[in-house]
């Protein structure tokens, strides 16, 4: 009980003491409780509570007394100021406390978007480029030509949106915000280590990529006053020593050529965005600088499920004589190099560097003599976004400038062009970049075929009809060979009884069987390989057309019947389920193609007379099923070609049956056989005969050695006895 009383008394006394110290003491005894805020205000230069002069007034009074110490109040204020300013004084006089230097403020320019060009192709612009003040970069570049809408339109928009060449890594309604850490990479983003580090000391998120640049000026098109054709952005480094500017200028078809038919398909400079990087030294000493430029980002992937080509790095290197050699790096190979930390850094001078997809490309082309002085010291492939399917990753390049020495009050400017458009020989030729279009082994045939298709289309026919016309032209030129093939097939049927008799006679001796068959073919003037000739002749055409469909942009989105895109599978409807190797779309044309192939096989192939021939035909049937899987996802235009070719071949075969056979003069046939004696079959027969004679001699020698061995063994046994 006593302990509780003592505890209660202690708590009460402590509370009264604390209350008296805070409230009663300062009220009745102010001299014992000075206000600490007054000292703080004195240090900051404000007027003291007792009415004495401020620190700035004291400093002024002290300097006006020519060395006198001044009043006691002045001494007190000066002493206070000296303490606050680490004791700085001159001739014993008190000085005003120097202010702390203010940290430079981050640029505070508004977020702005500038659109270069016009969606109206009548103005001569084939591009509409959207620039953002955030990083002064290209947010997107859209093709305005109505021939280039997006391939996939899941929302069934009418009309379809136009295709973006770059900027597809951003949603169409994305807005770029300043100081957004880790924002999506944009085309021609610029970074400089020294400047970015200075910005980051003020805000870790700040850099040349994330800050808003100042929009210095825009340029109007002289022929179209409502259209902006150029823009200039600028930003100054935190220490004020370096100004960086980006100047954009969009080109177009000249006003006097806008009305020319097809001008947008051949005038390459219209797909050009000129970009200049200016580095201006604002200081009085030389500055060393180097910048890194982000290459094209966000090229479109179309028909991903059936595509055979995704994003590729394409770089054209210059040799000492100015010749261009192309380098290709696929997205999957680059992703593998990044994983293994073995990404190659290219240091050769470049003619162009960029990224391409199936039908479109975005390239950076530096100007000036790159062999004498390179604009970019290194070009490094980069992965912007890694996809689960590595070949579908978004890839780009980082182009690092040569090391620059900028003199005091000097300026260094780098100019380069950007090609943003479809992959066409005519459009890419001005940039010496037409080598990015790869037609494969039979490129010359592909060029001829595309020229023919373009010519037929120029007559006013659809590309689907143009492909059928191309098929008729090709098969018509091959008619003499097809006629020989039909005659060869008929002769093969006529020779079947004799071939059966030969097989029965030499069924135990394959060598004599083959020799007898060759002799029969020679006597009958029959070439068993003649039927394969049309197939071999059509193989380059097939490969060339396949390459043309995969690379020729004019066939993209070309419609025919129910087909929306001749450069992709016909996709009649979605099956609702994805089947391995076949995908989720029902493609009708490949099925028609395989059915016609099978009908041709049944029509042209003679009935089997042996088990081997029956097995071969079964294998051919399995091959048809295998070809069905291969053809199921090929471009619809290729199926149109094969359907037309099969229909032509079947009709041709029926027609040839009604044509009279050529009468063969026996004397000419005898002379022909004599000439052929030293031909292919003559040489083949001679080689087979020599091989048979050699084998016969070896057999006789082995038999003789066997007999000698047996006689030797018999004599030795007799000697033992």
- pLDDT tens by residue, 597-638: 888 777 766 666 566 667 767 777 777 777 777 778 888 888
* Residue 412 tokens, joined: 């260094």
Flag whether pLDDT at 79 surpasses 50: no
Mean pLDDT of all residues in the chain? 78
Model confidence band, residue 87 (pLDDT cutoffs 50, 70, 90)? very low
How far apart (Å, rounded) are the C-alpha atoms in residues 314 and 423? Answer: 12
- Closest-CA residue to 294 (of 136, 176, 437): 136
Q: Which of 147-161, 226-240, 486-500, 549-563 has the lowest mean pLDDT?
A: 486-500
High-pLDDT (> 90) share of the chain, % = 34
Question: Per mean pLDDT, which of 146-160, 520-534, 651-665 is the most reliable?
Answer: 146-160
Q: What is the mean pLDDT of residues 89-107?
A: 56
pLDDT digits (tens, 9 = 90+) for 493-520: 677 777 777 777 777 777 777 777 777 7
Q: What is the mean pLDDT of residues 291-312?
A: 90
Q: Which of 119-133, 173-187, 258-272, 428-442 has the lowest mean pLDDT?
A: 173-187
Q: Which of 117-131, 336-350, 487-501, 523-537 has the lowest mean pLDDT?
A: 523-537
**588-604 vs 636-658: helix axis angle to the nearest 10?**
20
Q: What is the mean pLDDT of residues 629-656?
A: 84
pTM for the model: 0.73
Q: What is the mean pLDDT of residues 425-447?
A: 86
Flag whether pLDDT at 686 surpasses 70: no
Flag whether pLDDT at 124 surpasses 60: yes
Flag whether pLDDT at 664 surpasses 60: no
Are 646 and 593 spatial neighbours (Cβ–Cβ below 8 Å)? yes
pLDDT digits (tens, 9 = 90+) for 523-542: 666 666 655 666 666 778 77
Tell me the CATH number of domain 113-438, given options 2.70.98.90, 1.20.1560.10, 3.30.420.40, 1.10.10.10. 2.70.98.90
Give the residue, 544 or 280, on which the prediction is more confident: 280
Which residues is 90 bridged to in the sheet?
A: 93
Question: What DSSP line would sit under 258-290, residue for residue?
Answer: TTSTTGGGT-GGGGEEEEEEEEEE-SSS-EEE-
Q: What is the mean pLDDT of residues 317-327?
A: 89
* Residue 557 tokens, joined: 């989105």
Residue 244 has a pLDDT of 96
Question: 């969606």: which residue's tokens?
Answer: 119
Residue 375 has a pLDDT of 93
Residue 352 has a pLDDT of 95
Give the residue, 365 or 678, on which the prediction is more confident: 365
Residue 67 has a pLDDT of 38
Residue 500 has a pLDDT of 73
Q: Which of 401-410, 584-593, 673-682 has the lowest mean pLDDT?
A: 673-682
Long-range CB contacts (within 8 A, 24+) of 51-59: 52/76, 52/77, 53/77, 55/80, 55/81, 55/96, 55/97, 56/96, 58/94, 59/94, 59/95, 59/96
What is the phi/psi pair of residue 484, to 5°? -65, -35
> Residue 618, preceding bond cis, omega within 30 degrees?
no
Flag whether pLDDT at 90 surpasses 80: no
Flag whether pLDDT at 235 surpasses 60: yes
Which residues is 324 bridged to in the sheet?
A: 318
How far apart (Å, rounded) are the C-alpha atoms in residues 258 and 121? Answer: 9
Q: How do the residues of the chain divide into helix, strand and coil, expressed in percent and rounded to 5?
A: 45, 20, 35
User: Cα dist. 154→10, 146, 150, 151, 160 in Å?
Assistant: 81, 18, 10, 10, 10
Model confidence band, residue 77 (pLDDT cutoffs 50, 70, 90)? very low
Are 300 and 163 spatial neighbours (Cβ–Cβ below 8 Å)? yes
How far apart (Å, rounded) are the C-alpha atoms in residues 130 and 134? Answer: 12
Give the residue, 708 or 587, on which the prediction is more confident: 587
Residue 11 has a pLDDT of 61
Q: What is the mean pLDDT of residues 355-377?
A: 93
Flag whether pLDDT at 168 surpasses 70: yes
Flag whether pLDDT at 435 surpasses 80: yes
Residue 25 has a pLDDT of 60
User: Cα dist. 188→131, 293, 418 in Å?
Assistant: 10, 6, 10
Give the residue, 50 or 212, on which the prediction is more confident: 212
Residue 105 has a pLDDT of 77
- Closest-CA residue to 187 (of 227, 258, 259, 139): 139
Nearby residues of 276 by Cβ (< 8 Å), 6 or more positions away: 245, 246, 247, 413, 414, 415, 416
Model confidence band, residue 160 (pLDDT cutoffs 50, 70, 90)? confident
Mapped onto helix, strand or coil, the DSSP state of residue 413 is strand
Flag whether pLDDT at 715 surpasses 70: no
- Number of neighbouring beta carbons within 10 Å of residue 50: 8
Flag whether pLDDT at 380 surpasses 70: yes
- Closest-CA residue to 375 (of 395, 357, 335, 348): 348
Residue 102 has a pLDDT of 59
How far apart (Å, rounded) are the C-alpha atoms in residues 44 and 46? Answer: 6
Model confidence band, residue 101 (pLDDT cutoffs 50, 70, 90)? low
pLDDT digits (tens, 9 = 90+) for 381-390: 999 999 888 9
Give the residue, 27 or 557, on which the prediction is more confident: 557
Residue 581 has a pLDDT of 72
* Residue 305 tokens, joined: 């499920």
Residue 50 has a pLDDT of 40
Give the residue, 346 or 105, on which the prediction is more confident: 346
Q: What is the mean pLDDT of residues 571-591?
A: 82
Question: Per mean pLDDT, which of 114-128, 172-186, 604-618, 684-698 is the most reliable?
Answer: 114-128
Model confidence band, residue 276 (pLDDT cutoffs 50, 70, 90)? very high
DSSP state of 371: T
């Amino acid at each position: 009980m006593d302990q509780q009383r003592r505890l209660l008394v202690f708590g009460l006394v402590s509370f009264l003491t604390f209350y008296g110290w805070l409230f009663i003491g300062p009220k009745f005894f102010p001299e014992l409780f000075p206000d600490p805020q007054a000292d703080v205000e004195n240090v900051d230069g404000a007027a003291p509570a007792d009415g004495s002069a401020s620190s700035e007034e004291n400093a002024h009074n002290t300097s006006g007394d020519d060395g006198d110490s001044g009043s006691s109040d002045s001494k007190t204020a000066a002493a206070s100021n000296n303490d606050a300013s680490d004791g700085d004084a001159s001739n014993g006089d008190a000085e005003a406390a120097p202010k702390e230097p203010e940290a430079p403020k981050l640029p505070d320019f508004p977020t702005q978007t500038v659109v270069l060009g016009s969606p109206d192709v009548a103005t001569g612009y084939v591009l509409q480029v959207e620039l953002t003040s955030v990083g002064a970069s290209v947010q997107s570049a859209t093709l305005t030509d109505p021939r280039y809408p997006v391939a996939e339109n899941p929302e069934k928009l009418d009309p379809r949106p136009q295709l973006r060449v770059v900027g597809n890594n951003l949603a169409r309604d994305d807005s770029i915000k300043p100081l957004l850490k880790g924002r999506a990479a944009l085309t021609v983003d610029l970074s400089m280590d020294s400047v970015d580090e200075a910005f980051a000391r003020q805000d870790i998120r700040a850099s040349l990529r994330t800050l808003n640049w100042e929009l210095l000026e825009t340029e109007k098109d002289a022929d179209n006053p409502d259209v902006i054709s150029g823009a200039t952005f600028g930003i100054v480094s935190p220490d004020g020593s370096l100004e960086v500017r980006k100047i954009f200028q969009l080109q177009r078809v000249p006003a006097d050529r806008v009305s020319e038919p097809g001008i947008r398909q051949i005038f390459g400079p219209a797909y050009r965005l000129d970009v200049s990087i200016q580095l201006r030294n604002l200081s009085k000493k030389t500055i060393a600088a180097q910048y890194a430029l982000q290459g094209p980002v966000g090229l479109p992937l179309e028909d991903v499920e059936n595509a055979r080509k995704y994003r590729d790095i394409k770089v054209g290197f210059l040799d000492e004589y100015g010749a261009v050699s192309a380098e290709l790096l696929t997205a999957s190979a680059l992703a593998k190099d990044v994983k293994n930390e073995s990404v190659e850094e290219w240091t050769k001078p470049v003619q162009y560097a960029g990224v391409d997809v199936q039908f479109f490309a975005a390239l950076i082309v530096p100007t000036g003599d790159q062999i004498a002085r390179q604009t970019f010291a290194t070009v490094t492939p980069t992965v912007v976004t890694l996809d689960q399917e590595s070949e579908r990753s978004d890839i780009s390049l980082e182009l690092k400038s040569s090391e620059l020495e900028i003199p005091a009050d000097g300026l260094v400017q780098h100019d380069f062009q950007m090609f943003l458009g479809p992959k066409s020989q005519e459009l890419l030729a001005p940039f010496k970049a037409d080598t990015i279009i790869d037609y494969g082994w039979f490129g010359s045939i592909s060029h001829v075929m595309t020229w023919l298709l373009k010519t037929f289309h120029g007559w006013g026919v659809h590309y689907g009809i143009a492909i059928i016309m191309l098929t008729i032209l090709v098969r018509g030129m091959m008619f003499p060979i097809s006629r020989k093939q039909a005659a060869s097939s008929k002769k093969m049927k006529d020779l079947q009884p004799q071939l059966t008799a030969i097989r029965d006679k030499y069924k135990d001796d394959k060598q004599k069987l083959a020799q007898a068959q060759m002799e029969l073919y020679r006597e009958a003037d029959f070439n068993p390989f003649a039927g394969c000739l049309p197939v071999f002749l059509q193989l380059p055409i097939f490969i060339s057309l396949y390459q043309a469909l995969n690379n020729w942009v004019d066939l993209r989105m070309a419609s025919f019947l129910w087909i929306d895109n001749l450069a992709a599978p016909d996709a009649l409807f979605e099956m609702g389920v994805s089947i391995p190797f076949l995908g989720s779309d029902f493609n009708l044309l490949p099925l028609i193609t395989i059915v016609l192939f099978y009908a041709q096989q049944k029509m042209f192939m003679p009935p089997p007379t042996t088990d081997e021939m029956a097995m071969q035909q079964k294998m051919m049937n399995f091959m048809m099923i295998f070809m069905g899987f291969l053809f199921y996802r090929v471009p619809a235009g290729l199926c149109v070609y094969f359907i037309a070719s099969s229909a032509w071949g079947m009709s041709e075969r029926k027609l040839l049956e009604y044509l009279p056979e050529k009468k063969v003069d026996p004397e000419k046939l005898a002379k022909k056989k004599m000439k052929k004696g030293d031909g292919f079959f003559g040489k083949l027969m001679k080689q087979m005969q020599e091989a048979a004679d050699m084998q016969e001699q070896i057999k006789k020698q082995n038999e003789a050695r066997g007999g000698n061995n047996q006689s030797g063994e018999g004599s030795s046994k007799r000697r033992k006895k």
